[in-house]
Structure 1
Amino acid sequence: MKPWILLSTLLLLVSCGRHEAASHKAAALSEAKVKVQGARLQPHTAAEEVVGTVRSKLRAMVEAKISGRLLEYTAIPGTKVKKGDLLARLENQEIQAKVDQAKAMLEQAQSDFSRQKQLIESKATARQDFDAADARVKVATASVSEAETMAGYARVTAPFDGVITRKLADVGDLAMPGKPLLEIEAPTSLRFEADLPEAMLDRVSMGAKMQVRIATLPQPLEAVVSEIAPVADPVSRTFLVKLDLPSAEGLRTGQFGRVAVPVAETKLLLVPAASVIRRGQMELLFVAKDGHALLRLVKTGKVLSDGIEILSGLEEGAQVVINDAAKLTDGQPVTIQP
């Protein structure tokens, strides 16, 4: 017999032996009952995340309305205050002197008016002099009111219920209009602020609902767009967008987060999360075909609430095993349960 004929015969025998062994192995596996679900293309809105910060809707930089040295400063960061609570007190000797002067002038004007009233009743003075005395009383009264109002500005009070977030002065500092003394925020009403590039601005509209993910919270929050800046920042060329946040435990001002801005509509091939098996660096799943479980090596993408995206290794419509996939063996007979 020629050598090449002998070699071909040996290879054929070996091949037949392997096929027979594989057949025996498949036959030795018990039939498994499985549930399947077809891999489907599902519409998906692709989004790009933009970083931002949680801020209070109501916040203010509190400053003095008059100039003066700070005699008292009770604003401590983290302290809760009520509207009208004293935050700081300024020296006001000069203003108090003006109050005393205005009151003295009012007393004099009232005295002159009383005398002119008696004289006009007895027709011993001209009507013009009586009217002038009456006008002086009104002017003096207004001067007292103005001086007392200015004196009241020596007390700096909380403009609304909130929390002191920053202390910007101390006792002995010179307070003046335009120089902030502290920052106060209302923690009960929060929003998310982010700077969006110009290219993404047309994807956002007033009243639109968007997902905001805060680093310290387990679940994303559904926020509503409430403000869109009409002009761009001249330095960053971005537009400030503000979104109202729902109340959530653990949510507070200053937290870092990301808002998902929709940028395109696409379709993803999705399978249930339970169908994907991870073994080391490999991602696997089983499909049911011709009464057998066939192992497929796949590559996954996004993890969504309704499934996992499959980037490669699987075709649309494939019957993916969704229960006890990790217990199956490649080639094992299966029966599909309804």
Structure 2
Amino acid sequence: MEKKIRAVLLTTAGVLTAMLFWSWKHRPPEAVLVRTAAAETQDIYNSVTIFGMVESAESTAVCPAENAVVNAVYAKAGDTVQKGDILCTLTDIGRSQTAADYWQTAQSVFAISGTVNTVTAEDAHALYAPMDGTVLTVPQAGESVSADMPCIQIANPGKLRVRAQSPELYVGELAVGQRANITFSAVDGTFHAGLTAIAPAAVKTFSLTNEDAEATVEVLLDLNGSTENLRPGYSATVKVFTDHRDDAAVVPYEAICQRGEQEFVFCVQDGHAVQCAVQTGYLLEDTVEIIDGLPTGVSVILSPPDELTDGDPVEVQT
């Protein structure tokens, strides 16, 4: 009798142990604690940043009638003058100016580029302001000036633009008509502009350190609105908007996972992680554009743990 009782107890213990083991083996996995954010829509813009300088969009350069030496100067760079104001007097030295004098003249001449109206003085002994405006450059007393080279430039301060240099890498993204935001070191606030011209050829700037020269392409941007506080020569940081998309789907960049070449996110559906393959677009400041693979409004898991797999139960942190 005692042996039978012992056998029953052992059998019962074995059955209970097997049941406990089976229950432990088939227990539901613990939910993974996760943080989430909702996929949203927003208007997004792609842009490139280039650098340049303010210049007058309307200016006139003056060449002397003859080779001459400057006697006296009555204005300096930055002065406001009116049409007809005398700027300097000259002594005619004829066409026998020496090579050294020509070199001195070339060193002093303002580097004029772009569309600048150039006039030749009628008076061989004086140079006058050809228009109302601001003096950009003027020779110094005792300096030699050449009939072939402008030595004075007057600009209209009310018509300003920005001349910027774009690395060749960005040129394919630029197009006339694109809008831009421009900031200046010397002036607070953001100014708006439109891209009006792109040079047909690139230029390489050579370095004194013998480093490889970078090819750049000049672009012009017309400033919109008031330019009262700007001056020619101010340095400019130009943000050109090259593309925009309305109502684009975006998610925080922490939601994007990658295995090999496949990009995906984990969505939360009915308390479980669901792996969704996605195609990403622009990388923005703190979000990523989703071109395909994700409906808006769903919750995506941020910084999912490496061991998280498709179908795992999750618990969202509150």
The structure-2 alpha-carbon separation of the partners of 1:263 and 1:223, relative to structure 1 and needing over 3 Å to count, comes to closer
**How far apart are the structure 2 equivalents of 1:64 and 1:150?**
5
Q: Provide the secondary structure at the position in 1 that maps to 2:250.
A: strand
Aligned mates of 2:147, 2:82 — CA distance in 1: 23
**Mapped partners of 2:220, 2:74: distance in 1:** 32
For the pair 1:257 / 2:257, whether they are aligned, the reply is: no
Q: Which residue of 1 aligns with 2:57?
A: 57
Deviation of 1:151 after TM superposition, in Å, equals: 7.0
What is the alpha-carbon distance in structure 2 between the residues aligned to residue 256 and residue 225 of structure 1?
Answer: 17
RMSD: 4.6
**In terms of mean alpha carbon deviation, does 260-269 or 65-74 score higher?**
260-269
Tell me which of 174, 186, 195 is aligned to 2:165: 195
SS of the aligned residue for 2:172 comes to: helix
Change (3 A) 1:302 1:248: farther
Partner residue of 2:153?
A: 183
Decide which of 236, 261, 269 is 2:250's aligned counterpart.
269
Letter in 2 for 1:227: A
Report the AA paired with residue 193 of structure 2.
A
Contact 2:249 2:296 in 1 (8 A): no
Q: Which amino acid aligns with 2:158?
A: T
Q: For residues 270-326 of structure 1, what are the alpha-carbon distances to aligned partners after superposition, in whole Å with 9 as ceiling and x for unaligned? A: 79xxxxxxxxxxxxxxxxxxxxxxxxxxxxx966xxxx7489xxx96379xxxxxxx
Q: In the TM superposition, what are the counterparts of 1:1-338 in structure 2 within 5 Å?
A: 40-91=40-91, 152-170=123-141, 172-235=142-205, 236-246=214-224, 247-262=226-241, 267=248, 269=250, 309=287, 317=297
Whether the 8 Å contact between 2:65 and 2:123 is mirrored in structure 1 is no
Residue by residue over 1:62-88, the C-alpha shift from the partner in whole angstroms, topping out at 9 and shown as x without a partner, is 331212232321121221011221111
User: Is the Cα contact below 8 Å between 2:60 and 2:131 reproduced in 1?
Assistant: no
Distance in 2 separating the partners of 1:239 and 1:151: 37
Structure 1's 47 and 151: CA in aligned 2 closer, same or farther, altered over 3 A? closer
| 1:24-74 deviation line (CA, Å, top 9, x unaligned) | xxxxxxxxxxxxx96513242221211111111123443312122323211
Matched-pair contact (CA < 8 Å) for 1:73–1:87: yes
**Sequence identity of aligned pairs in percent?**
24
Conservation of the 8 A alpha-carbon contact between 2:38 and 2:251: no
Query: RCO higher in 1 or 2 (8 Å CA, sep ≥ 6)?
Result: 1
Q: Structure 1's 152 and 182: CA in aligned 2 closer, same or farther, altered over 3 A?
A: closer
Classify 1:199/1:221 alpha carbon distance in 2 versus 1 (closer, same or farther; 3 Å): same
**TM-score (norm: length of structure 1):** 0.49
Q: Distance in 1 between matches of 2:122 and 2:240?
A: 51
Is the 1:68–1:92 Cα contact (8 Å) retained in structure 2? Answer: yes
2:135 partner SS: strand
Count of residues in Structure 1 that have an aligned counterpart in Structure 2 = 212
In 2, the alpha carbon distance for the partners of 1:150 and 1:186 equals: 19
1:265 Cα deviation after fit: 5.8
Question: In 2, Cα distance between the equivalents of 1:224 and 1:331?
Answer: 47
Rg comparison, structure with higher value: 1
Say which SS state the counterpart of residue 221 (structure 1) adopts.
Answer: strand
Instruction: Give 3-state SS (helix, strand or coil) of 2:77's partner.
Output: coil
> How much has 1:261 moved relative to structure 2?
3.1
Structure 1 residues 38 and 249: CA distance shift in structure 2, 3 A: farther
Distance 1:258 1:234 in 2: 20
Q: Show structure 2 runs of 5+ residues with no match.
A: 1-36, 95-119, 206-213, 253-282, 290-294, 300-315
Q: Distance in 2 between matches of 1:75 and 1:216?
A: 25
Distance in 2 separating the partners of 1:50 and 1:93: 46
Separation (CA, whole Å) in 2 of partners of 1:53 and 1:150: 29
Q: Tell me how far 1:254 sits from its aligned partner.
A: 1.5
3-state secondary structure, aligned to 2:161: strand
| Cα distance between partner residues in 1 of 2:242 and 2:177 | 17
Deviations 1:165-223 (A, max 9, x none): 334321x3333213543333221101111112334223222233222233344432221
SS of residue in 1 equivalent to 2:140: coil
Partner Cα separation in structure 1 for residue 154 and residue 51 of structure 2: 24
